[in-house]
Structure 1
């Protein structure tokens, strides 16, 4: 064991994850609605501002960081060796990267060159995802591996036949890693940091500062023009890693029994952490404006500070005051986040394949916003039903 963490399911983390997924489905859906307020849209790359929409992705990163100490210590407690643990981390990372690459290439598919339509290719991809990463309950393991093997073969075939671009000359490549791919890289680096420093909270705090410093260093002219130019390709990963590490540090503050932060000591430590993140963001903002697209330090630190506050409020309400019955609504999504994440895409491509589309009235203004809210809630109910059918994805 690396840290002595509180045992049992932490409902506030599950609720935070479920709420984030619900908001994610809503903001992804509302992005296609016309005539919506600016505060419901992503800020443009060159603007010096952020909206609540720009906090959804960092909230995912933050929750990944909160979960890593529990996940690693759980596997160690079950008897995993060092190399078994590394194999698990690499497998999860690879899964996120593969999912990310497939998803970002879907929109650029050339149907004529590929031989099948974008919608059919995408639906086959998602079926393959379910086959590979579903949690099977068969007593005979060979049946499980038959399903997984079929999914892996299907992914390979889909990747090989893929052609993109106007002339169909582009192959399936990581033009960028996609949201899941970016999460995958941040997850991998965070696992390395956590193990390297053996869950030491002070070292993790310094690594947050180091990630921020690395991003700033990469912005300097001598880095962009000199022999070290290749390092600047990692500035985004460093920025995302800083958010993951903030989530990891907050988990240690709340749940590491060796730190023994309780009562006023816990409140002062968490409050000080949030204030420090916000003040650092303000200090850096004149030089590095708030920008999600550029993953600037001010955006990272403000987002992490917001996540610290939101989780702390949830923890106080759910785990301290025991007001937790309402969290049952979010629990299915929180326990099956990958399926919940891809489900709206499955619905979207399914509608395209069937030639269906939403009425124009639901694609603009207030009716569109209300529809997106209803759609997000409906997805959580669908996931609840899929959970009962034992369809649960786990990387």
Structure 2
């Protein structure tokens, strides 16, 4: 998760992009906490996999993917402006992907599949040590090449290795170490980021770049559709080639974010977009909606199954939300209301992991909330308060100098 200094709420930054990121983080914390509340309406939960529908909750993860895509052109331009060679840029992409996959893998194994009784420490203590190691390795230090920082990062890496070695999953005679049950949200973002970066690198210096990126989105969707075809999924080689339809679907959302960034800020200056660019964005929204509708009949609408219609509808919604924020913040200059989102927008990885740290800490200490806060509107209200408290924690820790960056 990366926050590029070329855009944000501060001076010389693009307010609408950071506000979109901050709002996404705020809603994510809210809906994640809301998942543990009983007696809430169906529209406030993820739609079940077997239901042909989506709720606003199902758009939160796509919004993460979309904002990752919007950041890619800015991040590339900045690194190239700083003198990075193509090899260095490729290495940065691979290292960032590996970091997202690694953190996602640890988080998934901390949530499920562990055999705590044969581990030397509780899973909650294990999780807390893991997050301490994450902070040690991926903090943004003022002097990243100083010896103390090198020692801290090395200690964090050793900590991750040690935690991986003592982890046990499974049961009985089937005990094993850490396993790829799934990649977790960060891991899914990592794979989609890798695909989108590769696509953007291919299309950025070619004309017309937007059309090439649209073709890449179509390729991702086609990959998903082919993977659902029984003769393909049932064939050994073809089934292996088309074994990652979810990653392809998620990549299409990131690429939609890339296209949106190029539509509004194609020259990299961040200047106000004219009517022509707004019309291009509206045309893209309509294209995505029509394509999603055509595909929904065959593949349905499902976040859990990562269907094309869900991807395309979610991307269209994200473009519409960004357009409104761009008009409000960058055109009309109505910005005061969004200041409280700035710390989380500038420090998204920390904002993402804080709720997991709080959960592990409270479970380790045996603390819990009154039952009334796990039910109905009282529970929903607490979730909203909790999300704001997390943003406040991020702000305080940021002022103390703690910032994370993968």
Whether these two folds match at TM > 0.5 is yes
Query: How many pairs align?
Result: 391
- Which range is displaced more, 111-120 or 51-60? 111-120
CA distance in 2 between partners of 1:261 and 1:383 (Å): 30
Moved over 2 A (4+): 5-8, 165-168, 257-264
TM norm structure 1:
0.96
Deviation of the 1:139 alpha carbon: 7.7
Aligned to 2:3: none
CA distance in 1 between partners of 2:306 and 2:242 (Å): 13
Aligned to 1:253: 263
CA distance in 1 between partners of 2:182 and 2:144 (Å): 40
CA distance in 2 between partners of 1:34 and 1:170 (Å): 34
Secondary structure of 1:294 counterpart: coil
Task: Determine if the alignment matches structure 1 residue 209 to structure 2 residue 209.
Answer: no
Deviation of the 1:109 alpha carbon: 2.1
Question: Once the two structures are superposed, what CA deviation does each residue of 1:75-112 show, in whole Å capped at 9, x if it has no partner?
Answer: 00000111111111111101000011000111232222
CA distance in 1 between partners of 2:328 and 2:273 (Å): 16
Task: Determine if the alignment matches structure 1 residue 218 to structure 2 residue 222.
Answer: no
Aligned to 2:65: 61
Kept after mapping to 2: 8 A contact 1:340/1:379 = yes
Aligned to 2:43: 39
Kept after mapping to 2: 8 A contact 1:253/1:261 = no
Aligned to 1:19: 23
Aligned to 1:280: 291
Secondary structure of 2:175 counterpart: coil
CA distance in 2 between partners of 1:68 and 1:258 (Å): 12
**Alpha carbons of structure 1 residues 129 and 371: separation in structure 2 relative to 1, 3 Å:** same
Deviation of the 1:332 alpha carbon: 0.3
Secondary structure of 1:286 counterpart: helix
CA distance in 2 between partners of 1:111 and 1:286 (Å): 45
Unaligned runs of 5+ in 2: 1-5
CA distance in 1 between partners of 2:37 and 2:216 (Å): 40
Secondary structure of 1:362 counterpart: helix
CA distance in 2 between partners of 1:219 and 1:334 (Å): 37
Counterpart among 165, 182, 193 of residue 199 in structure 2 = 193
Counterpart among 186, 190, 196 of residue 180 in structure 1 = 186
TM norm structure 2:
0.93
Task: Determine if the alignment matches structure 1 residue 292 to structure 2 residue 298.
Answer: no
Task: Determine if the alignment matches structure 1 residue 234 to structure 2 residue 244.
Answer: yes
Question: Once the two structures are superposed, what CA deviation does each residue of 1:169-189 show, in whole Å capped at 9, x if it has no partner?
Answer: 031021111110000000011
Kept after mapping to 1: 8 A contact 2:144/2:150 = no
Deviation of the 1:23 alpha carbon: 0.3
CA RMSD of superposed structures (Å): 1.7
